[in-house]
């Protein structure tokens, strides 16, 4: 018999947790709209090649972490481990490359097989933005400013720090890669197993290693800024100047890197010390080579993604939902009338709980359990006299309210006055 527990690394979002998730995604969606970002929804699964080509066949994500399968037609499919590649695929599939600039917001589940830990799951959720078709530093500044505004709107802006670095243009990156290979090759024997593998494939990723021995070796690694050409320095200066102009403080982190070749220039992360080891809550960068790598024209891009689970751990308790009005019918005539009253009150904007069975005592216990603001008692005697009994569940006071035609205006007025 199958286990009734959720699969390891997944979770049920019960109402309180779902409310936190919704607070994050709705705040992000509304803020992104202020910047002109339209929402895009891509499939949860794609052809494996959509992810394998840009992420890299030999990366841990593709080799160890993607949920991949063959469908009944023999196609190789994968659940999306991230959404940038899916958004770029959608741009190419739908012929949008001539409509730049393109500004997209997304929110939804992603999937990676990795060790579950605080704020990290195998099915997790992200919000993110992609800005395609703008080569100027203005795009980098805008997406960072958007990320900052979302974090501020969520009330966590004072708990995060923006870390910033540059990877330069391809010419600068090639020069730096060669310098890193020379440096790390001299220390190959002391590198961790992962870093020895990365030395031949993604040497920049060694700078991001968490191995204690790698960290010691990284201390004396050549700095990237020594290999930046003039154009790369000017671009990075423009980004920093724009952030300064907007009052967005940042901390330069020369060890902040992206290992894939299509990344260029700006990389950034908003980090916190309030979540333990998993301190990054929003991360992004410029990926000028991605669209071309996926078979499209040369097109610059920049974006970021943020983990909803991690942000949900940081935000304050969201406002509680509106307290419901409990309808408590007793008897056949009361049951019938309760249906009409419930729909009328819902049409007036009230949250209504309509008990389905039980005597008066049982239904009142339910009203208390759901923290109802008031109860509307509808018995056969009330129906005969064309009234209902309205009970204030906070004060205990109650009174009879006449039912005037089908609109029940007096009941609506009395309910609206309870918290006025």
What are the tens digits of pLDDT across the range 396-405? 998 998 886 5
Instruction: Decide if pLDDT at 56 tops 70.
Output: no
Instruction: Decide if pLDDT at 94 tops 70.
Output: yes
CA angle 23, 103, 232 (to 5 degrees): 110
Instruction: Decide if pLDDT at 226 tops 70.
Output: yes
Q: What H or E segment, with its residue span, contains residue 161? A: strand 161-166
Answer whether 15-169+229-314 and 325-417 agree in fold: no
CA distance 237 to 235: 5
Q: What is the pLDDT of residues 335-374, one digit of tens each?
A: 888 998 999 899 999 999 987 777 888 889 999 999 999 9
Backbone angles phi, psi at 258, to 5 degrees: -130, 130
Mean pLDDT of 66-85: 93
Mean pLDDT of 386-397: 91
Please list, in sequence order, all residues whose beta carbon lies within 8 angstroms of the beta carbon of residue 139, skipping any fewer than 6 positions away: 101, 131, 286, 300, 302
pLDDT value, residue 198? 82
Q: What H or E segment, with its residue span, contains residue 387? A: strand 387-392
Q: What is the pLDDT of residues 148-198, one digit of tens each?
A: 999 999 999 999 999 999 999 989 988 988 888 888 888 888 888 888 888
Angle, helices 332-347 vs 409-417, to 10°: value is 70
CA distance 68 to 233: 41
Query: Looking at domain 325-417, which of 3.40.50.800, 3.40.50.920, 3.40.50.720, 3.40.50.300 is its CATH number?
Result: 3.40.50.800
Angle, helices 137-153 vs 15-34, to 10°: value is 140
Q: What is the pLDDT of residues 292-351, one digit of tens each?
A: 999 999 999 999 999 999 999 999 999 889 999 999 998 888 888 899 899 989 999 999
Q: Which of 70-79, 84-93, 164-173, 253-262 has the lowest mean pLDDT?
A: 253-262
CA distance 306 to 130: 12
Per CATH, domain 15-169+229-314 is 3.30.930.10: yes
Mean pLDDT of 72-91: 95
The DSSP code for 371 is T
Q: How many residues does the chain have?
A: 420
Average pLDDT score, the chain: 90
pLDDT value, residue 414? 83
Q: What is the pLDDT of residues 119-146, one digit of tens each?
A: 679 999 999 999 999 999 999 999 999 9
Structural domain boundaries in the chain? 15-169+229-314, 325-417
407 CB neighbour count, 10 Å cutoff: 12
Instruction: Decide if pLDDT at 60 tops 70.
Output: no
pLDDT value, residue 57? 55
**Which DSSP string do the residues of 70-119 spell out, in sequence order?**
E-TT--EEEE-S-SHHHHHHHHHHTT-TTS-SEEEEEEEEEE-----BTT
Mean pLDDT of 21-37: 98
114 close to 65: Cβ distance less than 8 angstroms: yes
Query: pTM for this structure?
Result: 0.89
């Amino acid at each position: 018999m199958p286990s009734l527990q959720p699969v390891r690394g997944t979770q049920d979002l019960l109402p309180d947790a779902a409310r936190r998730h919704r607070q994050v995604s709705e705040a992000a969606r509304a803020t992104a709209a202020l910047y002109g970002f339209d929402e895009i929804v891509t499939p949860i699964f794609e052809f494996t090649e959509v992810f394998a080509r840009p992420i890299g066949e030999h990366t841990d994500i593709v080799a160890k972490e993607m949920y991949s399968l063959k469908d009944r037609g023999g196609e190789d499919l994968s659940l999306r481990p991230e959404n940038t590649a899916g958004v770029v695929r959608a741009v190419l599939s739908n012929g949008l490359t001539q409509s730049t600039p393109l500004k997209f917001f997304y929110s939804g589940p992603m999937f990676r097989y990795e060790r579950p830990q605080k704020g990290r799951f195998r099915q997790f959720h992200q919000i993110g933005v992609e800005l395609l078709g703008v080569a100027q530093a203005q795009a980098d500044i805008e997406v960072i400013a958007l990320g900052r505004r979302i974090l501020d709107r969520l009330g966590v802006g004072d708990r995060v720090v923006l870390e910033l670095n540059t990877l330069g243009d391809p010419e600068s990156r090639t020069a730096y890669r060669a310098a890193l290979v020379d440096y790390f090759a001299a220390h190959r024997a002391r590198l961790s197993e992962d870093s020895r593998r990365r030395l031949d494939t993604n040497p920049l990723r060694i700078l991001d290693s968490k191995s204690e021995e790698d960290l010691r070796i990284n201390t004396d690694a050549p700095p990237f800024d020594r290999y930046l050409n003039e154009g790369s320095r000017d671009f990075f200066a423009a980004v920093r100047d724009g952030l300064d102009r907007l009052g967005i403080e940042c901390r330069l982190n020369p060890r902040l890197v992206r290992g894939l070749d299509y990344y260029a220039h700006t990389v950034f992360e908003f980090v916190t010390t309030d979540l333990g080891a998993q301190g990054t809550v929003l991360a992004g960068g410029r990926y000028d080579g991605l669209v071309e790598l996926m078979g499209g024209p040369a097109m610059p891009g920049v974006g970021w993604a943020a983990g909803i689970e991690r942000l949900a751990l940081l935000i304050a308790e969201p406002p509680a939902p509106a307290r419901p009005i409990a309808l408590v019918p007793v008897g056949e005539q009361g049951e019938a009338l309760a249906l009409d009253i419930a729909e009328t009150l819902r049409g007036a904007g009230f949250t209504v709980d309509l008990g389905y069975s039980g005597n008066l005592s049982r239904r009142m216990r339910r009203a208390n359990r759901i923290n109802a603001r008031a109860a509307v008692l509808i018995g056969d005697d009330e129906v005969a006299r064309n009234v209902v009994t309205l009970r204030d569940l906070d004060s205990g006071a109650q009174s009879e309210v006449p039912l005037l035609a089908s609109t029940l205006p007096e009941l609506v007025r009395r309910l609206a006055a309870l918290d006025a």
